[in-house]
Structure 1
């Protein structure tokens, strides 16, 4: 049977539809098929690009930073030597309060009604000094008296009349009577005065006898009477010399129990070991420097970077920065104690810093103003050992040789060498 024209058109339309569908499927499938090269190209990481930062112009400062404990400088125990007293060493007054300050030339305590005067010196008071005493302790005493304005005469190692007079002035300024010499010395003066008086009487009698002999008629030999006068004059001279010596020895002394030497004054009273009515037995108080200091510990390597006199600062914790100075550096076992002293503190700051722990900063080196600086990571070494930085210019990397200066806080000072150019704002490579 022959198909009708209408049936043939349906078949052609169907065939066309199937062909079109097959073509679409083929195109879609073809779009999903990739070569190995295409696949690798699409999954590979992007090409590396340089990480750059600009060259800066800034001041650099290398510093030592650490934490330190506050204290009052140079704590020492004050000991009064009372072995020379003939009565019990009873404290009768002037007991200082903790936190008060003791001053040079003033009484810091009273024992048996007598003052204990504080003076600045390194040698302790270990004996009573009096006219005729000699030694380095006498020299220290006279240097101290002279410094305080009490003229001891010639400043030497001998305690003489000038020293005694200066001691009297010291006590008068402190508000006390000067010490009295020992009784046997005053008795020796009294006895010497009597001997002088007797010698004067003997001389008067001898002179009177000579005068009377000269009035006798016919007498021409007066050698006996004259000899008696000569002997009386010699005896008087000896008696007057002995009196002067006795008076010298009976000059104003300085009892061992009435002065203590402390290395420096004024100082703060940290602790009091005695009370009024009690008996002194060795240490009477502990004192420290009136100035507060901060002590931080550093290792030997850090210590080599520090020097006495360097400027420093420490943070009070509220953003307040106190300017200070390195006062001293001392070895402590395998470490070093760096003592930093503030230039000034208010009373409130002083009270706040008692027994505190604060952050200390000590600049050890700095540039002279602003310099070209790059991160340390931007600096590399060439094959010859010279330093260089990579500068990105117009998409290309250029090696710029540099001289490296101070490094601090992750930055380093750089100076281009030769004909190389480097300026603030240039982009240097620090990574990729």
Structure 2
């Protein structure tokens, strides 16, 4: 606590208002301040400092879906639509290309003369769709062929009893139609649609000199267009820095890719490729006392203090500055105490 005659300067954003502090044992301060005062509580909480960077809200795992059906594109789905197992992605010559789940692409014709892990994948999908391929295994049996024919009949495909890449496309789960790359009436080329997963994500091209703030699992807050925010976590951090170019020439700067997985999907609507602001945590002090920054007094003998509501001035040690508050410690400070702040 400050005793005896002392002088202080009140820190404000637009300039300083002089306060002369007089009296013994922290007695009453004589007011020469140019601004009236209010009070604010000393609080105890985690104090977090952040750095705002630009990001883009979208969907993860965007890719052009390979097409193996030959003919004319006769129907496509609306962009933004979600396709699940057994649903059609697009139609070529009136025949659907159907989505099935797995991780093995269709690279050969599956029939009673084949066996392998891709057969097991097909049978697993048929069973999930309500057809009976017999025991789900790596053997394409006559029961598998019968299940395939039933599925083909229901799906509007030619009942051949065999399956190839012109009939199905494989993805890990549901996909979202991100872009139609071959319009109705045109020849079906290497791809007809680009798809993404249904998982919302934010992509950030983070300046390489800020990579110390990017740790997998670190929490972030994302400010959305039009107001509101959602929480998220960093899910991927690029390992390779990519040079930044401007007008085709390198700028000497570089970025790393940052992917952020979001909570609270209901708040996101159907926004895609929307600009957002990502608040990365750069420092965090847990369970500390803090006051509004404007409560700080610069003491004439050096250092800082705060004026309590009863008029006493207490010297403080400052720590982290974040979100308009500052960490403070000092003798006689406690959670819930009131400190003076300028009232403009």
TM-score, structure 2 normalization:
0.64
Q: Which runs of 5+ in 1 are unaligned?
A: 1-46, 83-88, 181-251, 380-387
1:279 aligns with 2:190: no
Contact 1:313 1:342 (C-alpha < 8 Å) held by counterparts? no
Tell me the secondary structure at the aligned position of residue 106 of structure 2.
coil
Which aligned pairs between 1:81-230 and structure 2 lie closer than 5 A?
81-82=68-69, 89-91=70-72, 93-174=74-155, 176-177=156-157, 179-180=159-160
Which segment is superposed worse, 147-156 or 254-263?
Answer: 147-156
CA displacement, residues 357-387 of structure 1 (integer Å, 9 cap, x when unaligned):
122346688788x8521478979xxxxxxxx
Q: For residues 153 and 73 of structure 1, what CA distance do their matches in structure 2 show?
A: 36
* Paired residues, number: 284
Q: Which of the two has higher C-alpha Rg?
A: 1
Number of the residue aligned with 1:316: 225
Following superposition of structure 1 onto structure 2, how do residues 34-113 of structure 1 map, counting pairs within 5 Å? 49-51=7-9, 56-57=42-43, 59-62=45-48, 63-82=50-69, 89-91=70-72, 93-113=74-94
Q: Higher strand proportion, which one?
A: 2
More displaced stretch, 117-126 vs 90-99:
90-99
CA contact (8 A) 1:69 1:294 kept: yes
- Whether the 8 Å CA contact 2:47–2:327 is kept in 1: the answer is no
1:279 counterpart SS class? coil
Q: CA deviation at 1:150?
A: 3.7
Task: Report the secondary structure of 1:50's partner residue.
Answer: strand
Give runs of aligned pairs for residues 290-329 of structure 1, distance below 5 A.
290=198, 292-298=200-206, 299-304=210-215, 306-307=216-217, 310=219, 312-317=221-226, 319=227, 321-326=228-233, 328-329=235-236
In the alignment, structure 2 segments of 5+ residues that lack a partner are 12-39, 242-255, 298-302
The equivalent residue for 2:278 is: 360
> Structure 1 or 2: larger helix share?
1
| 1:308-351 deviation line (CA, Å, top 9, x unaligned) | 7x46332223x3x143533732316321312343633479x53x
Query: For 2:123, what is the secondary structure of its paired residue?
Result: helix
1:400 CA displacement = 7.1
Partner of 1:7: none
Structure 1 residues 112-142: Cα deviation after superposition (integer angstroms, max 9, x where no partner):
4433111233322111111242233223323
Structure 2 residue matching 1:145: 3-state secondary structure: helix
Instruction: Tell me the CA shift for residue 297 of structure 1.
Output: 3.0
Q: Is this contact kept in 2: 1:326–1:341, CA < 8 A?
A: yes
Separation (CA, whole Å) in 2 of partners of 1:94 and 1:154 = 35
Matches within 5 A, 1:335-346: 335-341=256-262, 343-345=264-266
Cα shift readout 1:31-55 (whole Å, capped 9, x = no counterpart): xxxxxxxxxxxxxxxx961346877
> What secondary structure does 2:90 align onto?
strand
Name 2:333's counterpart in structure 1. Answer: 422
Specify whether residues 166 and 409 from structure 1 end up closer, same or farther in structure 2 by C-alpha distance, changes over 3 A only.
Answer: same
TM-score normalised per structure 1: 0.53
Give the Cα–Cα distance (whole angstroms) in 1 for the partners of residues 139 and 88 of structure 2. 25
Would the alpha carbon gap of residues 163 and 51 (structure 1) be closer, same or farther in structure 2, given more than 3 Å must change? farther
| Aligned-partner Cα distance in 1 for 2:61–2:92 | 26
